[in-house]
């Protein structure tokens, strides 16, 4: 064998040894974590650590629900699966979080159904104005076969729907004037979520829709870039929007729920047993979240009223319903059967 071939053979052998050693030392955390043997030869496993994105503060009802879901999962798996909740929008706004879920860059998130509907069109139905007659009607739909059917459609977008959370009713508020009828909305610049349906709703009422991230709303109202927004009581309070937009109109245009979602990429790596545990935990956490919601809502209403804000209750909903009726044809034409099933489920 020539000297050149001999050196080449030795180099190749060394490379193979290094490769084998490096592979034997590799570990991977997550749904496919490697198992390692301890000194007694018993098999141990690194915890599976998963991230959940939440854009609301630590004490907000949806965050309370997220943490309850994480607690149940950790308990049911004896600490083998841990879900870390990142509150306060640390991992991005709702749109960027949903995109990260789709791409497999994030494991779980709690998002509102309105921005989610731009990724899974069927969810637009849940945001149609004045669709639900009351809270009992809403939860009968969401926690029944219809709600499950809607969650299942998310898989076409590489998203897994786990459960719904309470988000109350959404109402308009602004810094300019009292709003009693749709005519009073004319000329107002209203922030909306990044949703085509919400843009359409605001414009149908005669106002100007301005999509922007949630975290920018306070300063935008304060500086006059926009005049107001639309949201529920707890968000109006926790965001401090009530400080800069004192006119609050109880028009109750939507009862759009929150949705807890998972990345299909993460989900597909889990065992069937772990999937069942996580789904059950998500559904069980709904009870805690809804209770926390009611308590938070009551405190928020009391706080806003004590601040002296102008609260206007809509006396006649028909002009509001008539103004937004065209949205059913524009955004619900492909889902007429589903809409009828929802209306009939009372």
CA distance 46 to 43: 10
Q: What is the mean pLDDT of residues 302-307?
A: 98
Per DSSP, the residues of 87-154 read -TTTT--HHHHHHHHHHTS-SEEEEEHHHHTTTSGGGGGGGSTT--SSHHHHHHHHTSHHHHHHHHGG
Among residues of the chain, what percentage have pLDDT more than 90? Answer: 77
pTM of the entire structure? 0.78
Q: Which residues pair with 80 in a beta bridge?
A: none
Neighbours of 231 (CB within 10 A): 26
Q: Tell the residue number behind the tokens 């955004």, with chain if given.
A: 331
Beta pairing, strands 48-53 & 81-86: parallel
CB 31 within 8 A of CB 104: no
pLDDT per position as a tens digit, 53-88 = 999 889 899 999 999 999 999 999 999 999 999 999
Q: Among 42-51, 74-83, 106-115, where is mean pLDDT lowest?
A: 42-51
Q: How many residues does the chain have?
A: 346
């Amino acid at each position: 064998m020539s000297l050149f071939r001999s050196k080449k053979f030795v180099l190749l052998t060394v490379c193979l040894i290094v490769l084998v050693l490096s592979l034997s030392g590799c570990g991977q955390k997550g749904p496919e974590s490697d198992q390692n043997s301890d000194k007694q030869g018993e098999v141990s496993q690194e915890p599976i650590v998963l991230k959940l994105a939440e854009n609301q503060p630590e004490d907000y009802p949806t965050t309370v629900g997220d943490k309850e879901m994480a607690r149940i999962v950790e308990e049911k798996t004896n600490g083998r699966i841990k879900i870390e909740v990142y509150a306060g929008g640390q991992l991005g706004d709702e749109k960027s979080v949903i995109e990260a879920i789709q791409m497999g860059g994030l494991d779980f998130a709690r998002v509102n159904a309105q921005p989610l509907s731009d990724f899974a069109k069927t969810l637009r139905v849940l945001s149609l104005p004045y669709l639900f007659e009351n809270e009992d009607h809403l939860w009968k739909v969401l926690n029944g076969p219809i709600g499950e059917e809607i969650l299942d459609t998310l898989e076409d977008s590489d998203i897994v729907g786990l459960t719904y959370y309470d988000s109350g009713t959404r109402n308009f508020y602004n810094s300019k004037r009292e709003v009693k009828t749709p005519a009073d909305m004319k000329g107002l610049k209203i922030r909306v979520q990044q949703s085509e349906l919400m843009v359409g709703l605001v414009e149908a009422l005669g106002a100007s829709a301005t999509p922007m991230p949630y975290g920018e709303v306070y300063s935008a109202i304060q500086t006059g870039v926009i005049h107001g927004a639309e949201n529920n009581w707890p968000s109006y309070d926790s965001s401090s929007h009530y400080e800069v937009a004192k006119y609050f109109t109880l028009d109750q245009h939507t009862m759009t729920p929150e949705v807890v979602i998972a990345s299909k990429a993460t989900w597909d790596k889990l065992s069937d047993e772990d999937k069942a545990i996580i789904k059950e935990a998500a559904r069980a956490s709904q009870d805690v979240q809804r209770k926390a919601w009611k308590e938070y809502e009551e405190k928020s209403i009391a706080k806003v009223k004590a601040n002296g804000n102008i609260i206007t209750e809509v006396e006649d909903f028909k002009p509001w319903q008539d103004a937004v009726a065209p949205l059913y044809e524009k955004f619900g034409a492909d889902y007429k059967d589903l809409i009828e099933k929802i209306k009939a489920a009372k």
